[in-house]
Amino acid sequence: YDVTKQRLQCAPLDDRERAPALMARILREEGVRGLYRGALVTLVTYVPFSGIYFATYETFKRALLGYEHALPGGHAAAAEGSSSLVRVDEAQARERESRRAAACFVSAIGAGAIGAATTQPIDVIKTRIQVGREGMERSKHVPSMTATLVETYKAHGYRVFFRGTLARVLGTAPGCGVSMMLFEAAMPRLAFLGGGKTRRSTVAY
């Protein structure tokens, strides 16, 4: 679907071809391989992105929350390892959870932005392979990553590899923030359901 998305985004504004029709045309003109055009460079793009993203996310989260409170379960995990437990009311517990959710959201946005900006040059190569030469002219022969890199550099210089960086950051970072905030909020509840432990109402200061 990524090939279809990229080609729809690069199509002229007056082109009214929809995704199903485009996919059918790709299959007809390029075969099944056309839908997987640039699969290798896609892995080369997103594997480094994932490594940078999760490492940066954990670093930011621990900087904002501290090591113990950055663990899955947040403040509850810290409470179980503490000898002095203090019972707090529901309002305080909700406030702590809100602060942790905000820290996870901000950390994920920052990590997503860094990951997207760092891997932007590879994403440019991926997009050019998927879309085709100069936007629309394609053949069944898929150029290699190296050939695309050299050809693009000779034609446009090094700055082209950072074209669209802001758009990619703005498209990636918010989704990372929302997804990780929801994931971190769900983790303690899923662990509670799976482990069968009684949920504690105490947290550590």
Distance CA 118, CA 48 (A): 9
Radius of gyration of the chain (CA): 23
Phi, psi of 189 (to 5 degrees): -70, -40
Lowest mean pLDDT among 3-12, 95-104, 116-125: 3-12
Residue with tokens 């901000």: 106
**How does 174-187 read in b/e, with b if 16+ C-beta sit within 10 Å?**
eebbeebbeebeee
pLDDT-derived band of residue 79, with 50, 70 and 90 as boundaries? very low
Contact indicator for 45, 172 with CB cutoff of 8 Å: no
Of 156, 141, 168, the closest CA to residue 46 belongs to 168
Instruction: Give residue 174's pLDDT band: very low, low, confident or very high (50, 70, 90).
Output: very high
- For residues 119-124, give the mean pLDDT: 94
Q: Best-predicted range by mean pLDDT among 104-113, 132-141, 154-163?
A: 104-113
What is the predicted pLDDT for the residue at 70? 58
Give the percent of the chain with pLDDT over 70: 76
Q: Is the pLDDT of residue 69 over 70?
A: no
Q: What is the pLDDT of residue 191?
A: 66
pLDDT at 104 over 90: yes
What is the C-alpha separation between 100 and 31, in angstroms, rounded? 49
User: How high is the pLDDT of residue 135?
Assistant: 42
Decide: helix, strand or coil at residue 102: helix
Q: What is the pLDDT of residue 56?
A: 97
What local confidence, expressed as pLDDT, does residue 55 receive?
A: 96
